[in-house]
Copies of this chain bind each other. A is one copy, B any other.
Amino acid sequence: MVNPNFKIAAIDGSARAGVLSMQRHVLNTPTFMPVGTRGAVRTITSKDLEELGADIILGNTYHLMLRPGEDLIQEFGGIHGFVDWKRLILTDSGGYQVFSLEPDVDDDGVEFKSTYDGSLHRLTPEKAVDIQCSLGADIQMVLDVCPPIPTEKRVLEIAVDRTHKWAIRGRNHFLSKEKSFENERAQFGIVQGGLDRELRRISAEQIVDIGFDGYAIGGLSVGETRQEMIEPMRISADALPKEQPRYFMGLGDPAGLVEAIACGVDMFDCVWPTRLARHGTALTMKGRVNLGAARYAKSDDAIDPDFDLSPASRWSRGYIRHLLSVGEPVAARLLTLHNLAWIIDFMKRARASIVQGTFDDFQKETLQIWG
């Protein structure tokens, strides 16, 4: 399997510094993927993402298949052409958002109503592949079943079983189309199993047996505590092939990130840094700072005085606080740029510590501030 080409450049404990080479772009791992839900990371552009040094962004199949629809996006040359983004795009399968709508599920697939206009839609493992092919994703995710936490064991078992069966169908369908992709596209499988260690192991084995280009840990970071999350994550990661990329779906806070990196996970996405930004909160070397607070009104400090690489460093906390207090929309933009720059730099620092063999210290320092 040459697609994607993943090389591990350094290992420190279980943490890995890797290089993921796809036809369109080469990136270093661990990596963070900003989330462009509706064809844009809220408040910013593809040019901003280039300037931030983002290597890969995530698009939500659920939203894009409904608005503007995969056929229209395909006419523009896929998401890359539509949003004018030249680096990598990973799309989810749509499943996660569909399951949050409590849809009708059967062995064949899942039926749901559009949140936009109430119209009825159906997603199957094959359809999820077709849509993501139309969207032109560099990396696509197989359709899975993601139950909430907590969930009773019987329901979890059904979810793991269905995830397995759907993964076989999704993989077969992807491979039946693969020749036309000229090796530029990859498909990742997803491990489920909730917080149940045994089910995590079973699910990982089933998915690895099918053989994907990379593997994701799904169904975690959905409301459980970080402590509850770590063991099922570790079990999932340990059961995955070392030589292929591992992706934790929906994780983006620094403490969670270092714990996952420590377990050997390479790729992450989350709306957390950008959602915080839109609510007035900045990521800083000293922790979260809510710039909406009155105590920052007179502050001439930068958003994070200890972080020189912020694209918003020329504006003061006092100015941002003012923009927030009068509802100027550019406040959300500046904090989004800042938080993304901060988390992208955080991943670079994590990688550097792995290369230098000091990841342990990096993990401890991060947990002291963010744990």
Give chain A's interface residues, CB within 8 Å of chain B.
38-40, 42-47, 63, 67-68, 72, 75-76, 82-84, 297-298, 300, 314-316, 318-319, 322-323, 325-326, 328-330, 332-334
State whether A330 touches B82 (Cβ < 8 A).
no
Which residue of the partner chain B has the closest CB to A84?
A: B314
Q: A67-B326, A326-B67 are in contact. Are A319 and B43 (CB under 8 A)?
A: no
State whether B330 touches A45 (Cβ < 8 A).
yes
Bound Cα distance A333, B40 (Å): 12
Bound Cα distance A354, B322 (Å): 41
State whether B76 touches A323 (Cβ < 8 A).
no
Which residue of the partner chain B has the closest CB to A66?
A: B326
Residues on the B chain within 8 Å of A332, using CB: 329
Residues on the B chain within 8 Å of A326, using CB: 38-39, 63, 67
Within the complex, which residue of B76, B318, B334 is in contact with A82, where a contact is CB–CB below 8 Å?
A: B318
Bound Cα distance A180, B51 (Å): 43
Count identical subunits in the complex: 2
Bound Cα distance A180, B306 (Å): 37
27 A-B contacts (beta carbon < 8 Å): A38-B322, A38-B323, A38-B328, A39-B323, A40-B323, A40-B328, A40-B330, A42-B328, A42-B329, A42-B330, A43-B329, A43-B333, A45-B330, A45-B333, A47-B314, A67-B326, A68-B297, A68-B322, A68-B325, A75-B298, A76-B318, A82-B316, A82-B319, A84-B314, A84-B319, A329-B332, A333-B333
State whether A39 touches B328 (Cβ < 8 A).
yes
Bound Cα distance A318, B77 (Å): 12
Bound Cα distance A84, B312 (Å): 11
Within the complex, which residue of B47, B76, B333 is in contact with A319, where a contact is CB–CB below 8 Å?
A: B76
Residues on the B chain within 8 Å of A314, using CB: 47, 84
State whether A297 touches B76 (Cβ < 8 A).
no
State whether B330 touches A76 (Cβ < 8 A).
no
State whether A315 touches B45 (Cβ < 8 A).
yes
Which residue of the partner chain B has the closest CB to A48?
A: B330
The 4 closest A-B pairs by CB, nearest first: A38-B326, A68-B322, A40-B328, A84-B314
Residues on the B chain within 8 Å of A298, using CB: 72, 75
State whether A45 touches B334 (Cβ < 8 A).
yes
Which residue of the partner chain B has the closest CB to A68?
A: B322
Which residue of the partner chain B has the closest CB to A318?
A: B76
State whether A322 touches B45 (Cβ < 8 A).
no
Nearest-Cβ distance from residue A299 to partner chain B, whole angstroms: 10
Which residue of the partner chain B has the closest CB to A314?
A: B84
Residues on the B chain within 8 Å of A67, using CB: 322, 325-326
Bound Cα distance A330, B83 (Å): 12
Residues on the B chain within 8 Å of A330, using CB: 40, 42-45
Nearest-Cβ distance from residue A155 to partner chain B, whole angstroms: 33
Which residue of the partner chain B has the closest CB to A39?
A: B322
Bound Cα distance A68, B294 (Å): 11
Residues on the B chain within 8 Å of A76, using CB: 300, 316, 318-319
**8 further contact pairs, Cβ within 8 A, besides A46-B315, A84-B319:** A39-B326, A39-B328, A43-B333, A67-B326, A82-B318, A84-B315, A329-B329, A329-B332
Nearest-Cβ distance from residue A67 to partner chain B, whole angstroms: 5
Nearest-Cβ distance from residue A34 to partner chain B, whole angstroms: 13
